[in-house]
Copies of this chain bind each other. A is one copy, B any other.
Amino acid sequence: MNNLVAILLAAGDSGRLWPIDEKLFINFQGSSLIEHSLNQLIRIGIKNFYLVGNSKNAVLCRKLQDIYPRVNIKVAVQKNNLGMAGAVISVKKEIMNHQILVVGPSDVYEDYLLTEFAGLYRQKPDGIMVGKKLDYYAPLGYLQTDNDIVKGIIENPPRDKIKTNLAAIVFDYFRNSKILVEAIEKSTSKKDDLYEVAKDRLIREGLVVKLLSYNGYWGYLKYPWHVLDISSYFLSRIKSKINKVRIDKTVKIEGQVCLEDDVTILENVKIVGPVYIGRGTLIGQNCLIRESMVGRNCIIGFASEIARSYLSSNSWFHRNYIGDSVILENCVFGSGAVTANYRLDSLNINSAIVGKKIDSGRTKLGAIVGRNCRIGVNTSIMPGIKIGSNSFIGSGIVVDRDLPDNKYLEYKDGHLNIVDNRIKINHHHLEDNRLKLKF
């Protein structure tokens, strides 16, 4: 695959994921999503990568070369706003005369998709597209096919007009990059689907594109709670690893539990796998951790319960219940703060996405909390609520609506107020290992 360049679409960051940003750099099991993607691509022999990022994440993208010294990772910054098509255009000169593989690196799929791609690639087709068999409806692009040949792409068909269950995963191979670039440049679309329109045009103009029919796991990040789905997928494949850790003899571990080095688990803790706990994290006495992914250097304090949640790094919990929740890095929850994760009426939990109420499809969903947040003691966060990064919430509050980034929600004179949060967070307590037990 020496002549193949993988173009990793790293520029898009969706407001629908708020308060999550930089989705490619969300960590699962110690590696970011883009690293998981690179690992899979490198494993089948790809050596050349173009990461098309944006002005915010280009720095992070450029650091990836250090992690992968044996392959070539170049970074371009996409300046147009033409979506995936624009990403390809951004590097059109650099990929000239190359085969290209366009990949959405926040998507998650099983290794065997890559193996099957490599097999199909050896047959030297003009193009390859991946269709994922769905057993539910979702507003996606769908492949029209005839005997393993892709015949067209229909974008967002209405539910009653859908004729195929093969959702188009962005994992597109073209033996000749030029014809894709030309198709994009010839296409016009006012909607966000220029890339799909160009691909459809190519196919309808006669390019023979092989279908790679895929029936395995496909994870993608459209809404923030999808972090929980992807976390569950990674957890489902985890293997137990318990060494270089300090675990009290009263700790009980069930199922597959992967503990990175320097994890400490104190008395009477129960871990119900699958669970992943990142390096340096401390689990205090009497905690219960179930089916969760916990990042590095967290402190899960006395009598906390973490269930089916994704916790990023450097966060600090104390006598909390965190259920079905996503908590980004550097957060602190006061004693008795709770994420409610179930509606009184048992119905699906809604969440406001870019101002619109969306059914999460889940009866269990807690909170989505951004980076650097602080939650007061005995505060209750209602199901599906999202807290923006750098926002603080006072004590004893019932949080029943989303809080934007950089705000401070306080109870004052009988009313809830939202004011700007100008407080600079002091991280020393989290960084200093000697202070770790001082919560």
Contacts and interface: CB of A to CB of B under 8 A. Distances in A.
Contacts of A396: 378, 380, 396-398
A335 interface: yes
A68 to B, nearest CB: 37
A146 B396 CA distance: 58
A286 interface: yes
Contact of A345 (B284, B342, B426): B426
How many copies of this chain does one complex carry?
3
Contacts of A374: 344-345
Nearest to A284: B288
Instruction: Please classify how large the interface on chain A is, using the bins under 10, 10 to 19, 20 to 34, 35 or more.
Output: 35 or more
Interface in A311-337: 318-319, 321, 323, 332, 334-336
A376 B377 CA distance: 15
A305 B305 contact: no
Interface string A384-401: 000000001011111000
Contacts of A319: 305, 321, 338
29 contacts: A248-B252, A250-B252, A266-B270, A267-B268, A270-B285, A285-B288, A303-B303, A303-B305, A305-B335, A319-B321, A319-B338, A334-B340, A334-B342, A335-B338, A336-B378, A338-B378, A340-B395, A344-B394, A344-B423, A345-B392, A345-B426, A346-B426, A346-B428, A347-B426, A378-B378, A378-B380, A380-B395, A396-B396, A396-B397
Given A335-B340, A382-B395, A414-B414, 14 more contacts: A248-B252, A250-B250, A250-B252, A285-B288, A303-B305, A319-B321, A319-B338, A345-B424, A346-B425, A347-B426, A378-B380, A394-B398, A396-B396, A414-B416
